[in-house]
Amino acid sequence: MNGPQKKGLAILGATGSIGCQALEVIRAFPHRFQVEVLTAQNNAPRLIRQAIEFQPNAVVIGNEALYPKVKEALESFPIKVFSGAKALKEVTEFDGIDMVLTAMVGIAGLEPTMAAIQAGKQIALANKETLVVAGNLITRLAQEKGVNIYPVDSEHSAIFQCLAGEFHNPLEKIYLTASGGPFRGKKRDFLASVKKEQALKHPNWDMGCKITIDSASMMNKGLEVIEAKWLFALKPDQIKVIVHPQSIVHSLVQFSDGSIKAQMGLPDMKLPILYAMAYPDRLHTSFPRFDFLNYHELNFEAPDTESFPNLMLAYRALEKGGNMPCILNAANEVAVAAFLKDQLGFLQMSDVIDDCMQKIHFMIEPNLQDFIHTDAETRKLALSLIKKQNN
């Protein structure tokens, strides 16, 4: 008897943390998954190594200046090589692709994800900014095209897993857990002088630089709150955040009868990646198992929104709606980039975001071009605010 047909995958952002872990999963299950497309923005050497190993139909290097290097390295292989933003959208339409894993960082993932949905491809979503910026457009398009969006974030995957078999039952609220990052328990006087080297030392998770800084500032959890609204059709007051420093309980669902379900496991992103890619199947793995006897207690506490105001800024953007989450996201991307270049203090990131949210023109029902314009205008303002602070 033949086994299940291989699932053809496009991995957008293959050289980043999520992309590399996804390829680890594929390496472990070569009978279940076939890599059709790999993309990267700047990391040409890693993309070349991945392409030689996995032999995809095509690769895309976003940075067009790196195209000759990638093309030359792969010229002896039957692999198509493309470059640029337009190619990132076009490759998602290839016939051999069943699912697109969007693991690009930031708003850059928005248009390729929309193109994949338009082409009827199933989505494994690791790029939370896509739903943060344009959740209404994405969810409406997915419904029109009959496309499922499978969450890859550990917290949203946990909610999705808790809802399996329960989709007909009304839920009361969800709890997104947060580790608290490297600065849990620290106050503003301490945070005023922290450096990027400290912020990049996450206690539990191995992630890329941008997401690690977002975790340290609680913005990552704020973006997840907005993403959860669109993934699970929730109201802002149905989404709660609770700090759980051990990162064992990945999130919880409370149903209308008061019962709560939690999804638990060791902090390993390969688990939610595999669940999204293999859904509805659970595949046997040799990943390390959680043992209750190794954890004598699991702790939970309220987030400190006075020391970490980004979470409340995200709730404010969610409640306002329209293009406000787009403003929040764009300002945050610029602020984090400046912090990583030592051009902005840790607490000043929130100031820049707040300022942009107050000054950029608000639109209640933006279209895609409005989002693109809002993103550009916000980045321009955020850069000017940062420059002013450095003068």
3-state secondary structure 230-279: HHHCCCHHHEEEEECCCCCEEEEEEECCCCEEEEECCCCCHHHHHHHHHC
Residue (of 153, 321, 357) closest to 251 by Cα position: 153
- Please report whether residue 2 resides in a domain: no
Q: Are residues 125 and 20 in the same domain?
A: yes
Same structural domain, 244 and 167: yes
Looking at every residue in the chain, the average pLDDT score rounds to 94
Decide if 16 is inside a domain.
yes
Q: Is the pLDDT of residue 4 over 80?
A: no
Contact 51, 58 (CB under 8 A): no
* Domains identified in the chain, total number: 3
Q: What is the DSSP letter of 8?
A: E
Single out the residue of 320, 303, 313, 376 nearest to residue 349, CA to CA: 313
Whether 64 contacts 45, CB under 8 Å: no
Q: CA 382 to CA 343: how far, in whole Å?
A: 12
Residue 49 lies in a domain: yes
Percentage of residues in the chain with pLDDT exceeding 70? 98
The CATH number of whichever domain residue 332 belongs to comes to: 1.10.1740.10
Report d(CA 156, CA 237) in Å as an integer.
17
Residues 126 and 172 in one domain: no
Same domain, 31 and 108: yes
Residues 224, 153: contact at Cβ < 8 Å?
yes
Q: Are 79 and 41 found together in one domain?
A: yes
What is the Rg, in whole angstroms, of the alpha carbon atoms belonging to the chain?
21
Separation in Å, CA 6 to CA 79, 97, 119, 150, 277: 19, 10, 19, 18, 11
Q: In this structure, are 215 and 257 located in the same domain? A: yes
The reply to whether 226 and 302 lie within a common domain is yes
Structural domain including 77 reads 7-151
Q: Tens of pLDDT along 307-364?
A: 999 999 999 999 999 999 999 999 999 999 999 999 999 999 999 999 999 999 999 9
User: pLDDT at residue 1 above 50?
Assistant: no
- The residue out of 134, 151, 168 marking a domain boundary is 151
Flag whether 146 is in a domain: yes
Q: What's the distance, CA 137 to chain centroid?
A: 17
Residue 282 lies in a domain: no
The residues pairing with 99 across neighbouring beta strands, listed in sequence order, are 9, 122
**Model confidence over 126-137: pLDDT tens digits?**
988 899 999 999
Q: Which of 103, 129, 151 delimits the end of a domain?
A: 151
Residue 374 forms part of a structural domain? yes
Same domain, residue pair 198 and 298: yes
Q: Which two tokens stand for residue 150?
A: 């499978």
Pair 209, 241 in one domain: yes
Same domain, 177 and 302: yes
Q: What is the pLDDT of residue 205?
A: 60
Q: Choose the final residue of a domain: 90, 116, 151.
A: 151
Domain assignment present for residue 314? The answer is no
- Asked if 230 contacts 138 with a C-beta cutoff of 8 angstroms, the reply is yes
Burial class for 118, CB neighbours closer than 10 Å (0-12, 13-18, 19+): middle
pTM for this model (two decimals): 0.92
| Predicted confidence band of residue 201 (pLDDT cuts 50, 70, 90) | confident
How far, in Å, CA of 220 to CA of 287, rounded? 26
Q: What's the burial of 48, exposed, middle or buried (CB within 10 Å: 0-12/13-18/19+)?
A: buried
| Same-domain pairing of 69 and 102 | yes
Q: At residue 283, what is the residue type?
A: L
Residues 329, 370, single domain; the answer is yes
Q: Is residue 199 part of a domain?
A: yes
Write the Ramachandran bin of 180: left for phi over 0, alpha for psi from -120 to 50, otherwise beta: left
Q: What is the dihedral of CA 235, 319, 221, 227, to 10 degrees?
A: 60
